């Protein structure tokens, strides 16, 4: 067998899978009732000069399935082999039919059944090279070849074997390459020097040094020289095996007078090994030594070092290396730039990452999927979906086909801004583009709908995963369990936990803690304690989070003795209290009215190197204000500001309420803003500034509070005040004012306010723009809506408006449950051997 020792059952093509494609409505031959005419028309067209650019030909084969293509190839298989091979390649790349690996393999089967072996050999070399980026695709192809060997007697030739060995080496599949080499010898083919070198390299890439050395001894016996390529492979093998000392020995042997010498690739590989072993300083010294010995660092050398410095978070050092390589005339490649773009994105430096991306384009380097995906992910995490879709448009226009990960990032971005139905609509585009959602795609959607409170839709998506044949994992269920527990639907949460057990999915600490929290929230403390005791017994608690759940419940019920008992159990379990733990304890003491003890707890936090955070300060300041100790509360505020911690709205609200106590108790957050005089707001502003608070934060608190309660004019007084002192209103302030106007249907005033904010240099959130645009369109005011769309793109920093324009209507206009359910039903056709039409 080709892959002796490896199960081919999972690799060989399954007949029912190919039947799925033949049943598809999209896979019918053009003009199926006149299929013979279509075959002969296409056959005639491909004989014409420049047939690849023939518009009529493209129209005829646009949805052609493998059976149709096979019939055309069979007509020319004897006399025009090169033409058949070219047509095979062209169809796979040009047809709108989804010619993925499985479809191409199906076409191979059809050619084999027609005994078109001459074409198959040439096509197979091309397909092997096409699979050089995916282990899964190559294994599927190899499984099909093995199946055809056993069932129809097809044998691959030497060029196929040689191409296969190179592809296996490229994909780090050393053990498989050895088995293929063995089969090649058994089939009577004499291996050349390049084949031996390829197998040595493949084995070394997997760290199989001993096996590689045995192969090297065979190379010597056959009289082939041990050149720099083989030695460099051995350096690589030792590095991959973690034997840096042995790698140095081979390197030194190469460097001797009668040695084969070292080149930049050898240096780069050894540096990479040092970097992997976290010996970056030695790698940098080796680079200097390399230069001294007259061996110039290559792009790969610098890229290895830049990657290592980025991995250690040394972004400044990485940028210095980039400048050095450019000064030395060594041009960065796509991989170099991608590493830097990715690192800058992870650091949250969007502008710098975008600048690096533009530099990449300026240098004439075409970014690949990884580069675009890194930037799109960065934009989506920040909620900048318009910019993310601009990149998608740029990507498509530059002929870089988005992959499923690209769409996963965009789907998650739409869920982040609270539009999961939009994310479902984007899924339609995914399937239209010949891609199919993965487990990750569905999990993102489940999270998005759960966060939006659309739990029923999340259920439907989970069900669709099973219907389509995509495995549900721990993450899929844990998100649902957590959401159900928060909603108090404990029986259903328990049902899903039971499903997890039935499916053999490990129930982790997160899911169990969610259930504990749900029991506590529902007042079922006994059930929560029983589950908690089991978790302690099984030692599945790795963090203080579950203990914190009980501490919080007991603290809210002012059961301090029981709370201390749980804390003792937590310490006995070997877990260190976190800032959350301490904050819960502070809250419990405050509820018990023991303010002094809570202040002592804060001092203990400082001594234990676990300083209080904003939530700790919120609790203690709120308690002091409620106890009528506003002066003491302001002193805590002064300390908080001194430590660089900025106040939140809850702290400001507690302080403002304390200052205006004579107005009565505030039962809801906006009560104080409804009743207070503007004089109190100015007085509050002055006092916070006196104690060291940030002017911007206080302005924002007052403006949003006033606008939220409909006091837009008074909010505007503070907006003008802050602008007067050089402070620019942020998106929260803009959106708060405009949202209130939109709720009242005042789209004219909303538009005026957006223009005013634009003049200040500030812009509302995307959702705000969408509401106003849709409102204007509903009133038939399309020109104003178009102006606002242009302004939306400007606010998002869109540079290529043509790239994002096709997506604006999709982003702005709402989609509802009906469209999403329709799409899920279409996707579920896959579970019934049908390809969905979308």
Residue 248 pLDDT > 80? yes
pLDDT at residue 503, rounded to an integer: 85
Residue 2 pLDDT > 50? no
pLDDT at residue 28, rounded to an integer: 39
Instruction: Yes or no: say if 105 and 21 are a contact pair by the CB < 8 Å rule.
Output: no
Instruction: Yes or no: say if 2 and 145 are a contact pair by the CB < 8 Å rule.
Output: yes
How confident is the model over 193-205, as pLDDT tens digits? 888 889 999 999 9
pLDDT at residue 527, rounded to an integer: 87
pLDDT at residue 11, rounded to an integer: 38
pLDDT at residue 15, rounded to an integer: 35
How confident is the model over 379-426, as pLDDT tens digits? 999 889 999 999 999 998 888 889 999 999 999 999 999 899 999 989
Cβ neighbours of residue 682 closer than 8 Å, sequence gap 6 or more:
none
pLDDT at residue 574, rounded to an integer: 85
Q: For the stretch 202-227, what's the b/e string if a residue is b when 16 or more beta carbons lie within 10 angstroms of its beta carbon?
A: bbbbbbbbebbeebbeebeeeebebe
Average pLDDT score over residue span 261-279: 91
Residue 834 pLDDT > 50? no
pLDDT at residue 5, rounded to an integer: 40
* DSSP annotation of 729: P
How confident is the model over 801-832, as pLDDT tens digits? 888 888 888 888 766 676 778 788 777 765 55
| CB atoms near residue 48 (< 10 Å) | 10
14 vs 537: which has the higher pLDDT: 537
Lowest-confidence range among 254-258, 352-356, 512-516? 254-258
Distances (CA, A) of 376 to 182, 385, 567: 45, 8, 44
Residue 190 pLDDT > 90? no
pLDDT at residue 193, rounded to an integer: 84
Query: Rounded to whole angstroms, how far apart are CA atoms 793 and 587?
Result: 46
Residue 560 pLDDT > 50? yes
Residue with tokens 């089969």: 183
Burial of residue 245 (CB within 10 Å: 0-12, 13-18, 19+) is exposed
How confident is the model over 659-714, as pLDDT tens digits? 887 454 444 556 788 888 889 899 999 999 999 999 999 999 999 999 999 999 99
Gyration radius of the chain's alpha carbons:
33
Residue with tokens 């740029």: 394
How sure is the predictor about 79, in pLDDT bands with cuts at 50, 70 and 90?
Answer: confident
pLDDT at residue 667, rounded to an integer: 45
Q: Which one, of 416, 473, 471, 427, lies nearest residue 449 by Cα?
A: 416
Cβ neighbours of residue 615 closer than 8 Å, sequence gap 6 or more:
580, 583
Cβ neighbours of residue 756 closer than 8 Å, sequence gap 6 or more:
none
Beta strands in 435-544 (DSSP E): none
Residue with tokens 């004019």: 713
pLDDT at residue 33, rounded to an integer: 42
Average pLDDT score over residue span 108-129: 86
The share of the chain scoring above pLDDT 70, in percent, equals: 92
Instruction: Yes or no: say if 250 and 286 are a contact pair by the CB < 8 Å rule.
Output: no
pLDDT at residue 25, rounded to an integer: 32
pLDDT at residue 341, rounded to an integer: 94
Query: Rounded to whole angstroms, how far apart are CA atoms 194 and 224?
Result: 10
How confident is the model over 198-234, as pLDDT tens digits? 999 999 998 898 888 888 888 788 877 788 888 999 9
How confident is the model over 629-660, as pLDDT tens digits? 989 999 999 999 999 999 999 999 999 998 88
How confident is the model over 771-794, as pLDDT tens digits? 999 999 999 999 999 999 999 998
How sure is the predictor about 610, in pLDDT bands with cuts at 50, 70 and 90?
Answer: very high
How sure is the predictor about 13, in pLDDT bands with cuts at 50, 70 and 90?
Answer: very low
- Give the rounded distance of the alpha carbon of 837 from its chain centre: 27
pLDDT at residue 109, rounded to an integer: 86
Q: Where are the domains of the chain?
A: 1-156
Instruction: Yes or no: say if 318 and 341 are a contact pair by the CB < 8 Å rule.
Output: no
What does pLDDT average to over the chain?
A: 86
pLDDT at residue 670, rounded to an integer: 60
pLDDT at residue 97, rounded to an integer: 64
pLDDT at residue 14, rounded to an integer: 36
Long-range contact set of residues 516-525: C-beta below 8 Å, sequence gap at least 24? 516/546, 516/549, 516/550, 517/485, 517/486, 517/549, 518/484, 518/485, 518/486, 518/488, 518/490, 518/493, 519/490, 520/549, 520/550, 520/552, 520/553, 521/485, 521/486, 521/488, 522/488, 522/490, 524/490, 525/553
Instruction: Yes or no: say if 318 and 336 are a contact pair by the CB < 8 Å rule.
Output: no
* DSSP annotation of 329: T
* N-terminal to C-terminal alpha carbon distance within the chain: 42
């Amino acid at each position: 067998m080709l892959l002796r020792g490896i199960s081919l059952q999972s690799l060989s093509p399954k007949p029912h899978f190919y039947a799925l494609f033949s049943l598809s409505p999209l896979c019918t031959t053009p003009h199926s009732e006149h299929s013979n005419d279509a075959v002969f028309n296409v056959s005639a067209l491909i004989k014409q000069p420049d047939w690849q650019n023939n518009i009529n030909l493209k129209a005829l084969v646009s949805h052609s399935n493998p059976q149709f293509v096979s019939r055309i190839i069979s007509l020319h298989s004897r006399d025009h082999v090169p033409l058949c091979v070219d047509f095979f390649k062209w169809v796979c790349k040009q047809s709108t039919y989804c010619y993925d690996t499985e479809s191409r393999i199906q076409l191979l089967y059809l050619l084999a059944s027609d005994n078109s072996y001459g074409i198959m050999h040439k096509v197979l070399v091309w397909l092997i090279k096409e699979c050089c980026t995916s282990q899964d695709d190559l294994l599927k192809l190899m499984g099909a070849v093995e199946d055809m060997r056993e069932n129809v007697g097809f044998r691959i030739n030497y060029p196929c074997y040689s191409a296969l060995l190179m592809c296996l080496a490229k994909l780090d599949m050393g053990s498989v390459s050895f088995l293929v080499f063995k089969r090649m010898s058994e089939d009577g083919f004499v291996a050349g020097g390049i084949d031996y070198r390829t197998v040595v390299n493949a084995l070394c890439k997997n760290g199989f040094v001993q096996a590689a050395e045995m192969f090297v001894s065979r190379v010597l016996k056959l009289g082939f020289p041990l050149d720099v390529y083989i030695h460099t492979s051995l350096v690589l093998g030792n590095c991959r095996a973690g034997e840096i000392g042995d790698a140095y020995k081979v390197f030194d042997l190469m460097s001797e007078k009668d040695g084969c010498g070292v080149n930049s690739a050898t240096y780069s590989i050894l540096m990479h090994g040092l970097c992997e072993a976290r010996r970056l300083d030695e790698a940098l010294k080796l680079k200097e030594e390399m230069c001294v010995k007259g061996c110039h660092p290559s792009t790969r050398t610098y890229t290895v070092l830049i990657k290592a410095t980025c991995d250690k978070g040394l972004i400044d050092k990485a940028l210095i290396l980039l400048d050095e390589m450019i000064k030395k005339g060594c041009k960065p490649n796509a991989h170099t730039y991608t590493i830097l773009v990715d690192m800058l994105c992870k650091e949250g430096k969007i502008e710098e990452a975008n600048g690096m991306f533009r530099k990449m384009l300026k240098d004439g380097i075409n970014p690949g999927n990884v580069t675009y995906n890194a930037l799109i992910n960065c934009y989506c995490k920040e909620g900048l979906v318009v910019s993310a879709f601009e990149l998608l448009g740029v990507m498509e226009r530059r002929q870089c086909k988005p992959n499923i990960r690209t769409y996963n990032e965009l789907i998650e971005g739409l869920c982040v801004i609270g539009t999961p139905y939009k994310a479902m609509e984007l899924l339609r585009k995914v399937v239209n583009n010949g891609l199919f959602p993965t487990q990750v795609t569905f999990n993102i959607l489940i999270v998005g709908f759960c966060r939006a409170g659309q739990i029923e839709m999340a259920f439907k998506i989970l069900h669709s995963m099973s219907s389509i044949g995509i495995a549900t994992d721990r993450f899929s269920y844990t998100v649902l369990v957590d959401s159900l527990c928060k909603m108090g639907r404990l029986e259903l949460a328990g049902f899903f936990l039971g499903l997890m057990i039935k499916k053999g999915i490990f129930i982790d600490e997160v899911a169990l803690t969610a259930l504990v929290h749900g029991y506590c929230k529902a007042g079922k403390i006994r059930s929560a304690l029983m589950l908690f005791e089991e978790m302690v017994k099984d030692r599945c608690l790795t963090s203080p989070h579950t203990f914190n759940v009980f501490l919080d419940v007991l603290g809210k019920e002012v059961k301090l003795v029981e709370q201390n008992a749980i804390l003792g159990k937590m310490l006995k379990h070997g877990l260190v209290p976190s800032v959350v733990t301490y904050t819960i304890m502070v809250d419990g003491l405050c509820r018990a009215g023991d303010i002094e003890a809570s202040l002592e707890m804060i001092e203990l936090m400082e001594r234990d190197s676990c300083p209080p955070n904003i939530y700790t300060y919120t609790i203690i300041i709120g308690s002091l204000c409620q106890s009528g100790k506003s002066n003491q509360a302001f002193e805590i505020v002064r300390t908080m500001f001194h430590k660089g911690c900025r106040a939140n709205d809850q702290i400001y609200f507690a302080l403002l309420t304390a200052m205006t106590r004579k107005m009565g108790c505030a039962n809801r957050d906006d009560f104080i803003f409804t009743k207070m005089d503007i004089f109190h707001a100015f007085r509050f502003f002055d006092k916070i500034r006196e104690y060291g608070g940030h002017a911007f934060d206080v302005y924002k608190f007052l403006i949003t509070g006033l606008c939220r309660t409909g006091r837009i004019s008074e909010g505007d007084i503070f907006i003008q005040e802050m602008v007067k002192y050089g402070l620019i209103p942020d998106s929260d302030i803009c959106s708060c004012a405009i949202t209130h106007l939109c709720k009242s249907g005042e789209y004219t005033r909303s538009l005026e306010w957006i223009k005013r904010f634009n003049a200040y240099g500030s812009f509302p959130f995307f959702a705000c723009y969408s509401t106003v645009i849709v409102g204007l369109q509903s009133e038939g005011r399309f020109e104003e809506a178009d102006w606002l769309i242009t302004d939306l793109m400007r606010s998002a920093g869109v540079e290529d408006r043509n790239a994002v324009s096709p997506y604006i209507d999709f982003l702005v206009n709402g989609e509802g449950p009906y469209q999403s359910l329709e799409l899920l039903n279409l996707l579920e056709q896959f579970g019934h051997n049908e390809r969905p039409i979308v």
